Chains A and B, each alone.
Chain A
C-alpha cells in the first residue's frame, strides 16, 4: 500500500534559519514524489517534483530510496515561506498526500 507520512503538523522557525520539512513514504514500486504548497487564501499548488531535481523558491528535496524519504529543505527561510506544505506520492495513477505541515517563519 502507498502511504505518505509527514511527522510534524507544525513547524516554526525564525527568518534566516534553515528549515527542513520531513516526509517519509512507503511504496512497493518506483515512486514519484512531489511537494505541494498552499499559501494563505490561495489554491494548493505544486512546488516541486523529484524527477526534475529543481530548486524552486530556494527549496530543494532529494529522494532517498534507502531511507524512503523526500524531505524538503531551504537553507534560509523567509517570512513569505509561511504556508501549509504537503508531500505527495504518485503511484498507480493516483496521488496520495501526507497530512501536511504548517510552516511558520517568524520575523
Chain B
C-alpha cells in the first residue's frame, strides 16, 4: 500500500527565513506532484517532478525529487506572508501519475 508522509505538519516562520518541507513515500514512483491550497479553496498545482534528480523552481519555492530515497523536498527561500497556505505532495499509484495518494499536508504560516 502506497503511503505518503509529510513533515512538518505545521510550520510557523518569520518573513525572510528559509525552510524545507519533506515528503516521503513508500513505494517506487517516478512522478511526484506538489499542490498549494488556500483556506476554503481548491488545489493549485505548483510542480510536477518526473524523474530522479529533477529540480524545479518558481519564485521563492524550489522542489526536488530523489526517487532512490523516495523523498521530495519543497524549499522556501526568504518567506513572505503570501506564501501562507497548506502544501500537499502527492504520488501516483501508477507511473503515469494517476490515482494520486496525498500526504497529510503542511500548513505554513508566515508571520511579518
A and B associate in one complex: no
